[in-house]
């Protein structure tokens, strides 16, 4: 995936208003196999989905179907940023903090809280068949449980 | 409301791409009477709204019109999770923390901060006339003030 | 911009369902010059954008193209609320907290964390050519870096 520079985005966005009579309204489920405590860049996978459907312009709505994993748009250049995010959220929502809900393991309630503080859905615009993200932005799937698993995301294209 | 299992979602999502010439674009205001410090599951109410409009496929955009109440998608199975969320956010944003803004009562500024950390809008996909949520997910309205009141949510259906 | 009272919103939303064959799908980039550590109300600018395109009803999707600045919907009446938000988030994510990522200055990693806790995109509904917000709500651009700069937001109109 080619990230857009500021100049390129301006160029893409010089397209005229469109009033189309055909609306693409396509929904699919995409699954990702995660590792424990992983924040993984899924931008390329979402861009491939856009490409495969020849989606040119509109909204991509992403919904994660879990309550102990989440979505965020974050820095794509430095793995240290991702490590700092994990340390930060584990500091805010530590394990063994006298939670009432502890039957699913010490990492479960912290995972719900980290999900609360981030996102279960993101709505990204597409122009000229490309996800519109800043140069330093990527779309991330956050696995907040200790062990990896299969995580499902709904990808919904609404536009043209 | 029947929550979808993973297999059922896959089945729903096997629908073909659609290019429709008629777009439903419907907006209504729905009000809820809350109790103080309550996190209440409003999934059924939103699903009923989808049913009433015969909305089959598209986006449901929810916007709460307040700054001391918010929206989130969270665990629907355990009330302990909701209690832990309240305890957690009250720990992060406690009352009487030397806020500059204190004229509306000690629970007001914490309520703005809890709103900041959660969501004022959610965008959920609908397929085959059902809100697409994971098995353990529900849509919640969070009342962060000490006393309950009437809270308004805009429900916007865009699709078909 | 005229903020809507509760009664006025009810009136706006009494419009009938619409099934239109022409969909507006317009995307533009808007830039704002910020000052350091500033939370700035951009509601009027977004409303002007809606007016300029004669956008009547649909979704406005806002995406900020940065990872150290963010978007939120918050209280529009009291500057003290905005100050308290800055103090609160600086307390949660302070400078010099032994971050691994520190090469871009002590305010950079805190800025990523504040962005993580708030939003990179917002989806707001429009009816009768007006952004639907509560009486006390405004749309805010948050500059989390120490020095101001030019910040770009994608404004995407999907509807009619």
β-bridge mates for residue C25, sequence order: C158
Share of chain B above pLDDT 70, in %: 87
A151 contacts A34 by C-beta, under 8 angstroms? yes
B153 contacts B29 by C-beta, under 8 angstroms? yes
Enter the pTM of the model: 0.90
**Cα C110 to Cα C101: distance, rounded to the nearest angstrom:** 10
pLDDT tier at C87, thresholds 50, 70, 90: very high
Q: Shortest CB distance from B17 goes to which of A26, A59, A64?
A: A26
Binary contact (B28, C6; C-beta < 8 A): no
Q: What is the pLDDT of residue C22?
A: 78
Q: What is the pLDDT of residue B4?
A: 42
Which helix (H) or strand (E) segment holds residue C154: the answer is strand C150-159
pLDDT in tens, B69-81: 999 999 999 999 9
pLDDT exceeds 90 at position C16: no
Reported ipTM: 0.89
B145 contacts B46 by C-beta, under 8 angstroms? no
Q: What is the pLDDT of residue A19?
A: 52
pLDDT exceeds 50 at position A71: yes
**Cα B64 to Cα B67: distance, rounded to the nearest angstrom:** 8
- Residue B56: CB partners within 8 Å, gap ≥ 6? B126, B128, B129, B159, B160
Share of chain A above pLDDT 90, in %: 86
Average pLDDT of the residues in C96-118: 97
Average pLDDT of the residues in C36-42: 98
Q: What is the pLDDT of residue B20?
A: 55
- How far lies C25's CA from each of A5, A32, B101, in Å? 22, 31, 40
pLDDT in tens, B120-154: 999 999 999 999 999 999 999 999 999 999 999 99
- B:8-67 residues touching chain C, CB 8 A cutoff: 21-29, 53, 59, 61, 63-67
Contacting chains of C (3 CB pairs or more, <8 Å) are A, B
| E strand spans, chain A | 19-20, 23-33, 39-41, 58-64, 69-75, 121-127, 130-131, 137-143, 150-159
**Cα A114 to Cα A145: distance, rounded to the nearest angstrom:** 10
Q: What is the DSSP string of A18-43?
A: -EES-EEEEEEEEEEE--TT-EEE-H
Hey, is the C-beta of B116 within 8 angstroms of any chain A C-beta? no
Count of CB atoms situated within 10 Å of the CB of C152: 17
Query: What are the tokens at A127?
Result: 């122009």
Q: Is the dihedral of CA B120, B125, B131, B134 positive or negative?
A: negative
pLDDT in tens, C48-84: 999 999 999 999 999 999 999 999 999 999 999 999 9
- A:141-160 residues touching chain B, CB 8 A cutoff: 152, 154, 156, 158
Q: What is the DSSP string of B19-59?
A: EES-EEEEEEEEEEEPPTT-EEE-HHHHHHHHHHTT--SEE
**Cα A57 to Cα A158: distance, rounded to the nearest angstrom:** 8
Distance from CA of B105 to the nearest CA of A (A): 25
**Cα C72 to Cα C43: distance, rounded to the nearest angstrom:** 11
Task: Report how many helices (DSSP H) and strands (DSSP E) chain B contains, helices first.
Answer: 4, 9
Average pLDDT of the residues in B75-90: 97
Least confident of A59-73, B144-158, C11-25, C92-106: C11-25
Least confident of B136-145, C5-14, C90-99, C101-110: C5-14
Instruction: Report helix, strand or coil for B97.
Output: coil
Binary contact (A113, B6; C-beta < 8 A): no
Share of chain C above pLDDT 90, in %: 86
Mean pLDDT estimate for chain A: 91
Q: What is the pLDDT of residue B9?
A: 46
C33 contacts C150 by C-beta, under 8 angstroms? yes
Q: Which residues of A82-106 are buried (b: 16+ CB within 10 A; e: fewer)?
A: bebbeebbeebbeeeeebebeeeee
pLDDT exceeds 80 at position B17: no
Binary contact (B25, C18; C-beta < 8 A): yes
CA end-to-end distance (rounded Å), chain B: 21
pLDDT exceeds 80 at position C45: yes
Q: What is the pLDDT of residue B21?
A: 59
pLDDT in tens, A1-54: 334 444 444 444 444 445 555 799 999 999 999 999 999 999 999 999 999 999
Average pLDDT of the residues in C119-144: 98
**Cα B38 to Cα B86: distance, rounded to the nearest angstrom:** 9
pLDDT exceeds 70 at position A81: yes
pLDDT in tens, B18-46: 555 579 999 999 999 999 999 999 999 99
**Cα C79 to Cα C96: distance, rounded to the nearest angstrom:** 27
Q: What is the pLDDT of residue B93?
A: 98
State the virtual CA torsion across C28, C29, C32, C37 in degrees, nearest 10: 120
Q: What is the pLDDT of residue A22?
A: 78
| E strand spans, C9-149 | 19-20, 23-33, 39-41, 58-64, 69-75, 121-127, 130-131, 137-143
pLDDT tier at C153, thresholds 50, 70, 90: very high
Binary contact (B29, C13; C-beta < 8 A): yes
Instruction: Report helix, strand or coil for C36.
Output: coil
């Amino acid at each position: 995936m080619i990230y857009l520079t500021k100049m390129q985005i301006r160029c893409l966005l010089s397209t005229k208003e469109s009033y189309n009579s055909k609306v693409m309204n396509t929904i699919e489920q995409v699954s990702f196999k995660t590792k424990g405590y992983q924040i993984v860049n899924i931008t390329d996978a979402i861009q491939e989905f856009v490409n495969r459907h020849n989606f040119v312009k509109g909204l991509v709505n992403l919904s994660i179907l879990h309550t102990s994993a989440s979505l965020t748009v974050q820095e794509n250049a430095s793995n240290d940023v991702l490590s700092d995010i994990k340390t930060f959220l584990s500091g805010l929502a530590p394990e063994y903090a006298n939670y009432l809900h502890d039957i699913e393991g010490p990492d479960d309630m912290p995972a719900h809280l980290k999900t609360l503080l981030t996102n279960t859905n993101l709505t990204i615009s597409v122009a000229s068949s490309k996800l519109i993200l800043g140069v330093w932005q990527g779309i991330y799937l956050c696995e907040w449980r200790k062990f990896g698993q299969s995580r499902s995301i709904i990808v919904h294209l609404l536009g043209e």
